[in-house]
Amino acid sequence: MDKSRVKLKVDNISQSYVVGDEVLDAILNVSFDVYDNEFLVILGPGNCGKTVLLNVIGGLEKPTGGKLYLDGEEIVGSDKRISMVFQELALMPWKTVMENVEFGLQIEGVDKKTRREIAQKYIDLVQLTGFEKSYPSQLSGGMKQRVGIARAYTSNPEILLMDEPFGQLDAQTRYSMQEEIQKIWQQEKRTILFVTNNIEEAIYLGDRIILMSKSPGKIKEIYDIDLPRPRNSMDPEFLAIRKEVSENTDLAL
């Protein structure tokens, strides 16, 4: 992480929805900087607007207020330099692993040979070599999410948004995927914004943690996690941070 270089500037972003006769604020005046090659975790209870924030950054929703700057330039809507890993296992069931991974490049109009080469590199990186021709229904939950990660990497983004990517995995697979994503990130440095509601996951992965309060979603606290990697969740320092963050977190109902 290079604290001197701001990669993404989130400036006073608000998002609200009209529900019935009322205006409901999902997130309110959220501002923070994301540094280059940082692993930034956005942590918060359910319904605190984490996903909304990520959707706004990913250009899937137009915010009601505020601006986004990537490398100092304002961005509006979805941007090729930002890629997303989704909460649900958002794979096309009719496409093979290879076809899913190369999807982004196909949209960009990259020729088949080139995109196969690039996709293969990331399939190898997420350790799915040999499964290129399998369909998603033939894969386990962890493998499906690896495909999702490979797909996001393949379009060579500068920022990766990950929306609770391991939320639907069983505990064991989740731990191994956390290690995996850390390794991948260390091999292929990118700026990652990782949303989770799991405190341990946040402390295990994050360079920094942005803790959000709920309804409307606001930034409550930003923690710098200076523990060496890979981290040990039994380490006293880890546990101390965990206690601190945990006590500061709003309860989700």
Partner 1 sequence: MSVSDPNHLNESEYVESVRRERKRSQYQSAILSVIGILGFLILWQLSLVTGLVNSRFLSSPIEVVSLFITKLTDPRPDGAVIGANIVSSLIVALSGFGLAIVIGIPLGLLMGWYKGIDSFLRPIFEIIRPIPPVSWIPLTIVWVGIGLQAKAMIVFFAAFVPCLINSYTGIRQTREVLINVAKTFGASDFTTFLKVGIPYSMTMTFAGVKVAIGNAWATLVAAEMLAASSGLGYMILMGRQFGRVDLVILGIAVIGLIGTLITIIINAVENKILGWRKL
Residues making contact with partner 1 (CB under 8 A): 55, 58-60, 78-80, 82-84, 86-88, 90, 92-94, 103-104, 106-108, 135, 137-138, 151, 155
Token digits of residue 189: 């440095």
For partner 1, give the closer residue by CB, 54 or 199: 54
By beta-carbon proximity to partner 1, the closer residue of 93 and 236 is 93
CB contact at 8 A, 182 and 14: no
Helices 141-154 and 112-125: crossing angle, nearest 10°?
Answer: 130
List the structure tokens of 32: 């923070």
Residue 194, beta-bridge partner list: 41, 162
Kindly tell me which of 97 and 245 has the beta carbon lying closer to partner 1.
97
**Nearest distance in Å: CB 56, partner 1:** 12
Q: Which one, of 175, 171, 176, lies nearest residue 126 by Cα?
A: 176
Which residue, 52 or 219, is less far from partner 1 as judged by CB? 52
Tell me whether residue 58 or residue 63 sits nearer to partner 1 (CB atom): 58
User: What is the nearest approach in angstroms of partner 1 to the Cβ of residue 139?
Assistant: 10
Residue closer to partner 1 (CB basis): 43 or 97: 97
Nearer to partner 1 by Cβ, of 32 and 135: the residue is 135
- In the complex, minimum distance from the CB of residue 182 to partner 1, in angstroms, rounded to a whole number: 23
C-beta contacts of 176-182 below 8 A and 24+ residues apart: 176/142, 177/142, 177/145, 177/146, 178/204, 178/205, 179/230, 180/126, 180/127, 180/146, 181/149, 181/205, 182/39, 182/229, 182/230
CB of 8 to partner 1, least distance (A): 15
In angstroms, what is the minimal distance from the CB of 88 to partner 1? 5
Report the nearest approach of partner 1 to the CB of residue 57 (Å): 10
**DSSP codes of every residue in 132-198:** TT--GGGS-HHHHHHHHHHHHHHT--SEEEEESTTTTS-HHHHHHHHHHHHHHHHHS--EEEEEES-
